[in-house]
Structure 1
Amino acid sequence: MGDPSERRIRGKVKSAGRVKIGWVVPLAVAIFVLFLMVFVGIRLFEWERPTVKLETEVKHLGQKSKVVVTVSDQRSGLREVRVVIRQGKKEALVVERQLGRASVLSRGVPSLQETIEVDTEALGVSDGPAELVVTVHDLSWWQWARGNLTQEVFSTEFDTKPPRIRVVGIPNGIKPGGSGVIVYGANEEIFDHGVVIDGITHPGFSVPTRKDGVSAAFVALPYDAESIKEAKVYAKDGAGNQTMQTLSLRFRSVRKSVGNIAVTDGFLNAKLPEFAEHYPEMKGTPIEQYLFINNEVRKRNTETIVEVCRHTDAIRHWEGRFLRMESAPMAGFANYRTYTYQDKQVDSQVHLGVDLADRQQSDILAANNGKVVYADYLGIYGNMIIIDHGQGLFSLYGHLSDIRSKVGDMVKTGDLIGLSGTSGMAGGDHLHFSMLVNGVFVTPVEWWDDHWIKDNILLFLEDTKSVQ
């Protein structure tokens, strides 16, 4: 039965335990509810405003322009995006997006990028100042559930009139493999401009040596051009308006130069091991391997050279005529070659440079001021250097035995850049020298001639009178 006093004590202990447990459960529930309310409050009532970022310049907008805008809200997500063009008292709606979220506690769309097509005619706006207004609401319950608001106003100016071009200087004619310069101006500031001849683009540059604010583009015809089908100057202003003006550019024909090269077994035995190191994919008999190099590798090499010449300094580095290596006369530019093996024709190619030879391992000097943009082995050219002389003009030095310069070096006329040799498709020690204008191989003879440069290049870059 036990002591009555002991039973009373045990009863009080149990009662006290029930009291403690009774307090713990409601307290835990209250803490959980409070935590949940805070969590929901922070999630739903956050006050961080959305952000707006323009990805394109809108200082000037043309008749049809593209504007890219990115809006973000990383807390509650985006509710509404609205873009209008405001001009005076008139507003034209460009974009309106209504967004949401899957559930009350989930986040909405955190980011959105819009590409806006601005068509002045469709929107009914006119030339002159205007504002691009971007308004964004998020999904927060702040501001009585209206959400946080961001509104960004960007000033712009509509300009739907293309620039007017005037041609200031044009060559008296240009031949296949020949070079020239075309000088032109515009009635307003232009940003993207140049000359297109039969689908080949020659970018334009400013001419600081003239006082009339004109631009110029060095141009060239490919060695195999048979005529000039189309020549135009193009110019685009800050608003993206573009105009083109047809040029009357006279074509001057030239006689083809032809030659014959006999491929011998001795030559194949001497050269194929070198090419095998760089082009292990060549297969077949020695002559088949040779033809792979002379065709497929030659094509790849040309593509590499053209790609290098796509990137040029906007300023002119060169001054005066280009140096010519003292040498005995050898193969010339645009020499149409027939290749024979064992008295049978096996191939035909065109030699796009001038071969110059003096003594073995002659000093190879920079033909003019410029920046080294290529200094490495390249197939048929062997060890090769390309110098960018600025504004699309390049010189190339092939078959070197040693390269004495590196990419990025600024060189002066007459600087030592390498030694002549027999690397690549060379049967004897010599320099293969090429000139290129915007990736088009041209005859170096013109650029070696001081009188030609003065009459056909410098006259246009320094004289302010119209030549056309």
Structure 2
Amino acid sequence: MMRRNRKTKITLFFSIILIVFIAAFVAFSSTFERVAPTISIENNNNDTMYWNGRDKIILKAEDNLGLKNIKIEYSKDNNETKNILINKTINAKDFTAEIDLPKPKFNEKLDRYTLYIKANDKSLWNWFGGNTSEQTINVIVDNKKPQVSVIANSYNITQGGAASVVFYAQDDNLTDLYIEVNNRIFQVAPFVKDDYYIALIAWDLRDGNDFEARIVAKDKANNIIKERIPYYYSNKKYRVSNIEVGDNFIDGKIKDLYEANSDNSLNDRALIFDFVNAKLRSENEKIIHKITKVVSNELVNDFKLNAFLPLKNGMKVADFGDHRFYKYNGNQISESYHMGLDLASTKMAPITLSNDGKIVFAQDNGIYGLNLIIDHGLGLYTLYGHCTKKNVELGDIVNAKTTIANTGTSGLALGDHLHFGVLVQGVEVRPEEWMDSKWLNDNVFGIIKKAKEIINKK
């Protein structure tokens, strides 16, 4: 009897051990993992998507252990009858399918489909049935392109210059709206009434002689329209300068800027000059471009400016757009574009603000020295370089006629002057245009006035 009880206890003990072992195996073995497959559809973030009837619907399924089966069905409108699109056995960790829903038959009007997606994995969990993910997606049929029409625009644009446009764009499911200029993106701002927009655009002189501007509108169903803005455009020949640099120049300002902005590993004068003129300049301009790309999405009812006159009695000492090639000992060592207008008068002359704005940058910036940047709205910014004794700080709202700083020799300036720049959405443009009242009336204010008259009649 005692021997039988002992045998029973041993059997029970090993049974418990076996059960614990099996339980541990099930709990910790990847074969019995409990993570269901993931299902995603491209350009769809919820249970409703929009489809234009042309594009393939891209479905992706993944599982860390491996997929076993994918089943995709659909139904039309409110019809509950399901039709099989895909029912496939899979032996892979990921699966991609291009779903092509059937096109409506002749005279058949379809507003939506419903997709039913089911994915099973290879896990032995759930009594060897695996983990299952199911997703139901409403597919709204939308094959209408957004409506776009130009209301008013500048007559022409000059290479290196700017222009304006006001236009209408409407779609119930609009997702993207911008202007594409030579592969650059320009943001737009709402104007006066719903579905009307305004923008300043720019033609970067470094983009070459070709120009094209189109309004691009895209909706949730990926219907896209690109409407050309009918600008006449004119090429402009900018100055080309060949400049010989000497040891004294490199050993002065250039070396100072190099030592303040590098690891000081270069000893060759030509390389030191190219570092400051090309690499440091590029880094400084990246900062400027990033700051000046910002466009407010607040409603614009009007946009008025005075012609810019930053330096009273200032004389031009260097042109905008000057393409400079530098030589040292007869060999070309570097090149750059001068992307502003240099103005000079007296030493430490007051720099006066011509228009209201907000200080968005006010600190040292390499070759630009003490550099101020002011936001005037609608993506328009003015830049003031080589300053001394600034009277404003970052974030200040400043009014016209305010003295913001004084001219100086900070940065890469050999003589006391102001480097005055104008940027439209991160692109340097000809300051002369924004210093000309007639140009402003013809290309900005007149366009806005004409557009408002047309819009208010509708």
TM-score above 0.5, yes or no: yes
Aligned-partner Cα distance in 2 for 1:335–1:50: 60
TM-align CA RMSD: 4.5
Equivalent residue, structure 2, for 1:249:
231
Equivalent residue, structure 2, for 1:273:
255
Equivalent residue, structure 1, for 2:20:
35
Aligned-partner Cα distance in 2 for 1:167–1:64: 28
| Counterpart AA for 1:196 | E
Q: Percent of aligned pairs with the same residue?
A: 25
Structure 1 position 207 matched with structure 2 position 190? yes
Deviations 1:89-123 (A, max 9, x none): 4756566554579xxxxxxx6xx5x6554555789
Aligned-partner Cα distance in 1 for 2:82–2:222: 23
1:175 is displaced (CA, Å) by: 1.4
Structure 1 position 154 matched with structure 2 position 143? no
* TM, length-normalised to structure 2: 0.74
Number of equivalenced pairs = 436
Deviations 1:226-266 (A, max 9, x none): 75453433222221111223343212355645778775665
| Counterpart AA for 1:203 | F
Q: Is the alpha carbon distance of 1:347 and 1:276 closer, same or farther for their aligned partners in structure 2, counting shifts above 3 Å?
A: closer
Aligned-partner Cα distance in 1 for 2:155–2:118: 57
Q: Of the candidates 170, 174, 181, which is equivalent to residue 164 of structure 2? A: 181
Q: Is the alpha carbon distance of 1:389 and 1:71 closer, same or farther for their aligned partners in structure 2, counting shifts above 3 Å?
A: farther
Aligned-partner Cα distance in 2 for 1:442–1:364: 20
Deviations 1:398-433 (A, max 9, x none): 2234667676x3634456765543222201232212
| Counterpart AA for 1:453 | L
1:1-12, aligned counterparts within 5 Å?
none
Q: Of the candidates 181, 205, 216, which is equivalent to residue 234 of structure 1? A: 216
| Counterpart AA for 1:195 | I
1:322 is displaced (CA, Å) by: 6.2
Structure 1 position 441 matched with structure 2 position 432? no
Secondary structure of 2:154's counterpart equals coil
Stretch of structure 1 that moved more, 253-262 or 387-396? 253-262
1:356 is displaced (CA, Å) by: 3.2
1:358-373, aligned counterparts within 5 Å?
360-361=347-348, 368=355
Deviations 1:261-284 (A, max 9, x none): 775665444303322221335542
1:219 is displaced (CA, Å) by: 1.6
Q: Of the candidates 52, 55, 62, which is equivalent to residue 64 of structure 1? A: 55
Q: Is the alpha carbon distance of 1:404 and 1:93 closer, same or farther for their aligned partners in structure 2, counting shifts above 3 Å?
A: farther
1:294 is displaced (CA, Å) by: 3.0
Equivalent residue, structure 1, for 2:75:
86
1:364 is displaced (CA, Å) by: 5.1
Q: Is the alpha carbon distance of 1:464 and 1:390 closer, same or farther for their aligned partners in structure 2, counting shifts above 3 Å?
A: closer
Contact kept, 8 Å, 1:166 with 1:184, in 2: the verdict is yes
Contact kept, 8 Å, 2:211 with 2:233, in 1: the verdict is no
Aligned-partner Cα distance in 1 for 2:358–2:299: 11
Q: Of the candidates 176, 193, 200, which is equivalent to residue 177 of structure 2? A: 193
Secondary structure of 2:234's counterpart equals coil
* TM, length-normalised to structure 1: 0.73
| Counterpart AA for 2:368 | Y
Structure 1 position 169 matched with structure 2 position 148? no
Q: Is the alpha carbon distance of 1:348 and 1:98 closer, same or farther for their aligned partners in structure 2, counting shifts above 3 Å?
A: closer
Q: Which has the larger radius of gyration?
A: 1
Aligned-partner Cα distance in 2 for 1:442–1:449: 13
Deviations 1:17-55 (A, max 9, x none): x56643431121221233356557778999987665667
Aligned-partner Cα distance in 1 for 2:275–2:32: 71
1:126-141, aligned counterparts within 5 Å?
128-137=111-120
| Superposed structure 1 runs of 4+ greater than 6 Å apart | 40-51, 121-126, 140-144, 258-262, 338-348, 403-407
Contact kept, 8 Å, 1:194 with 1:216, in 2: the verdict is no
Structure 1 position 24 matched with structure 2 position 35? no
Equivalent residue, structure 1, for 2:380:
393
Deviations 1:260-311 (A, max 9, x none): 87756654443033222213355423x6643553345445544554455455
Structure 1 position 431 matched with structure 2 position 415? no
Aligned-partner Cα distance in 1 for 2:117–2:393: 50
Aligned-partner Cα distance in 2 for 1:98–1:417: 71
Give 5+ residue unaligned stretches, structure 2: none
Secondary structure of 2:116's counterpart equals strand
1:321-340, aligned counterparts within 5 Å?
321=306, 323-327=308-312, 328-330=314-316, 331-335=318-322
Secondary structure of 2:440's counterpart equals helix
Aligned-partner Cα distance in 2 for 1:464–1:118: 46
Aligned-partner Cα distance in 2 for 1:343–1:296: 22
Stretch of structure 1 that moved more, 370-379 or 450-459? 370-379
Aligned-partner Cα distance in 1 for 2:4–2:189: 91
Aligned-partner Cα distance in 1 for 2:75–2:390: 61
Deviations 1:327-357 (A, max 9, x none): 3212342345576889999876542212234
1:363 is displaced (CA, Å) by: 5.6
Contact kept, 8 Å, 1:85 with 1:92, in 2: the verdict is yes
Q: Is the alpha carbon distance of 1:300 and 1:47 closer, same or farther for their aligned partners in structure 2, counting shifts above 3 Å?
A: closer
| Counterpart AA for 1:275 | L
Equivalent residue, structure 1, for 2:397:
411
